[in-house]
């Protein structure tokens, strides 16, 4: 079956999402995200919307900036060893402290709690498929993929297996030296997104509150 429009994913008989079709196309996390989208009681015709602007209208200017962001933030070559040493940009809302814990692998994730012999389920709170490590939560989990790609950074993590969180964050700092207009905003935003992903994880674990990634 060829899927071209959102309406193709909706069961016309009951005006609900076609769960069987969704599960045959998307990952479990993506299916969960779609099912959380409430359908209108008064359906309208689908229309094409450009995600690069707030009004949904395509412009060459917005396309240029979208492609420029993807080019600058590709992060394909992660160095094997380096240290994050610039923290003067992040001194508000506790984000700097959070980053220190993240880079030092000091967050109370499933892997670290299991190491301390605490009784806790190790799998990721979001997807339930992989071991809950900081790397997985922030960058490898399907939930994180949707968050990053849907953010103003339009970023898609493509990382080597031996990367570290500190290496990855340092790449954002390097963009400040290469292009101040991009780097000065990219690093704080990337740091903020990481902190919000962790907050979403804790809300799910402690309060059973499920965040949508968009």
pLDDT at 176: 64
Residue 162 within any structural domain of the chain = yes
pLDDT at 121: 62
pLDDT at 171: 76
Name which of 54-63, 75-84, 119-128 the model is least confident about. Answer: 75-84
Residue 35 within any structural domain of the chain = no
Residue 54 within any structural domain of the chain = no
Residue 64 within any structural domain of the chain = no
Residue 65 within any structural domain of the chain = no
Q: Select from 141, 160, 149, 115 the least CA-distant residue to 201.
A: 141
Band of residue 7 on the pLDDT scale cut at 50, 70, 90: confident
Residue 159 within any structural domain of the chain = yes
pLDDT at 104: 83
- Average pLDDT of span 142-162: 83
Answer with the residue of higher pLDDT: 161 or 102: 102
- Average pLDDT of span 29-48: 73
Angle value at C-alpha 115, between 208 and 119, nearest 5 degrees: 45
Backbone dihedral angles phi then psi of residue 17, each to the nearest 5 degrees: -60, 140
Residue 130 within any structural domain of the chain = yes
- Average pLDDT of span 164-180: 74
DSSP state of 17: E
Give the CA distances from residue 209 to residues 40, 94, 204, in Å, rounded to whole numbers and listed in that order: 23, 22, 5
How many CB atoms are closer than 10 A to CB 21? 16
Range of the domain at 149: 79-207
The answer on pLDDT for 115 being more than 70 is: yes
Residue 143 within any structural domain of the chain = yes
Mean pLDDT of the chain, nearest integer: 75
| CA 39/CA 17 separation, integer angstroms | 8
Answer with the residue of higher pLDDT: 2 or 20: 20
Find the Cα–Cα–Cα–Cα dihedral 191, 193, 199, 203, rounded to 10°. -170
Encode pLDDT of 59-110 as tens digits. Answer: 767 666 666 665 554 443 333 333 333 444 455 557 878 888 888 888 888 8
Are 45 and 125 a contacting pair, CB within 8 Å?
A: no
Domain tally, the chain: 1
| CA 186/CA 90 separation, integer angstroms | 12
- Average pLDDT of span 116-132: 79
Backbone dihedral angles phi then psi of residue 131, each to the nearest 5 degrees: -60, 140
- Average pLDDT of span 111-140: 83
């Amino acid at each position: 079956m060829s899927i071209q429009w959102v309406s193709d994913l909706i069961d016309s008989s009951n005006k609900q999402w076609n769960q069987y079709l969704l599960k045959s196309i998307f990952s479990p996390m993506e299916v969960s995200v779609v099912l959380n989208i409430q359908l209108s009681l008064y359906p309208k015709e689908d229309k094409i919307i450009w995600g690069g602007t707030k009004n949904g209208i395509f412009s060459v200017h917005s396309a240029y900036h979208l492609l420029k962001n993807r080019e600058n933030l590709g992060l394909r070559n992660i160095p094997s060893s380096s240290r994050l040493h610039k923290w003067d940009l992040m001194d508000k809302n506790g984000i700097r402290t959070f980053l220190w814990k993240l880079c030092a692998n000091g967050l109370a994730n499933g892997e670290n709690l299991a190491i301390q012999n605490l009784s806790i389920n190790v799998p990721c709170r979001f997807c339930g498929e992989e071991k809950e490590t900081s790397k997985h939560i922030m960058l490898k989990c399907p939930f994180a993929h949707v968050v990053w790609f849907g953010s103003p950074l339009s970023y898609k993590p493509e990382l080597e297996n031996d990367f570290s969180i500190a290496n990855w964050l340092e790449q954002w700092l390097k963009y400040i030296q290469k292009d101040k207009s991009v780097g000065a905003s990219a690093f704080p935003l990337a740091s903020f997104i990481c902190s919000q992903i962790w907050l979403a994880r804790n809300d799910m674990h402690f309060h059973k509150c499920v965040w949508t990634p968009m």
